[in-house]
Amino acid sequence: MAVVRRWVVPPTRARLRLDRFLALELAEHSRSQIQAWIRNGDVLLNGSRSKTGQLLRAGDEIVACEPPRAPDLPEPEAIPLEVLYEDDDIAVIDKPAGLVCHTGAGRRSGTLVNAILHRWGRLEAGDPTRPGIVHRLDKQTSGVMVVARTESALRALGRQFKDRQVRKEYLALVYGRVTPPDGTVDAPLGRDSVDRKKISVRARKRRAAITRYKSLESFGPCSLLSVYPETGRTHQIRVHLASLGHPIVGDPVYGGGRSFSRELQPIVSGLGRFFLHARRLEFRHPRTGAEMKFSAPLPVELAQFLDEIRCRCTGRR
């Protein structure tokens, strides 16, 4: 948003050049930048455009409309990507855990966007601070993502997500034996009124959110679920499963203090992430309309963790 500043020239500043006066008042900006504002008409002297070298008189009124800063654009970085498919319109990747999707909140590097820019160059698709990003996975969630390489692909895929035409399946390991083994969570979500970084089913302002699930296996203190989110709200799966009393194993935010036995807890602590993986993604190609289906296997750390927990709880692998 532009910032409007006003001054009345005091006698002590009379005979100063307009650009010099503003350089003194706006020390955080360079004189060349201020001169550009004057030339562009963003500075008015007594209600009219003026020249950079105009000499001021006592009582002159100056109004400067400081243009909003252009966002800092992310730069390409050589971050490895597991590419499952690519053509001129889209790319499908298997995102690893630990990789943030885009820059923001003080983060300018080390993101999926930085990796995308290195792999495919500048994309003319959407917000230049997050080009190509159609949907997101949490930092510690791994799995299948689709990236748009053109503006038309971004719009077409965005419509499919909005209209709930994209089919998504996740694997989640949760605490407890889930009953009933199949079900649907229909609970609107919104920002927690106390902790704005968290999402809650009890927020004042909420949006529709629906998640289906199916229990694949139960052993010891946990259950392995297939999860099918029909909407795409922030932290949706994590919050919905936690609301059932079955938070995702290893989730430090929505885990509710749940943990394994003293014997098993060190294994969870050593995992370094929560157990949520985007296993399958199905959508229509944004240009041809062809059905596209992609899957990503459990990453090594989750597969090994699952084998270890299953073995300790059941004595089998």
Contact predicate 143/94, CB 8 Å: yes
> CA-CA distance, 93 to 204, in Å (whole number)?
36
Helix (H, G, I), strand (E, B) or coil at 228: strand
89 part of the active site:
no
DSSP code for 80: -
Helix (H, G, I), strand (E, B) or coil at 195: coil
Helix (H, G, I), strand (E, B) or coil at 311: helix
Q: Is 289 exposed, middle or buried (0-12, 13-18, 19+ CB in 10 A)?
A: exposed
Task: Classify each residue of 224-260 as buried b or exposed e, where b means 16 or more C-beta atoms within 10 Å of its C-beta.
Answer: bbbbbbbbebebbbbbbbbbbebbbbbbebbbeebeb
> CA-CA distance, 207 to 191, in Å (whole number)?
10
Catalytic residue among 19, 60, 94, 138: 138
The alpha-carbon radius of gyration of the chain (Å, integer) is 27
- Could you identify the residue written with the tokens 């959110």? 209
> CA-CA distance, 177 to 225, in Å (whole number)?
10
C-alpha 64, offset from chain centre: 35
What does each C-alpha distance from 57 to 38, 152, 217, 230, 255 come to in angstroms? 17, 54, 82, 66, 66
- Could you identify the residue written with the tokens 């199905």? 282
Contact predicate 216/225, CB 8 Å: yes
Give the residue numbers annotated as catalytic, written as ranges: 138
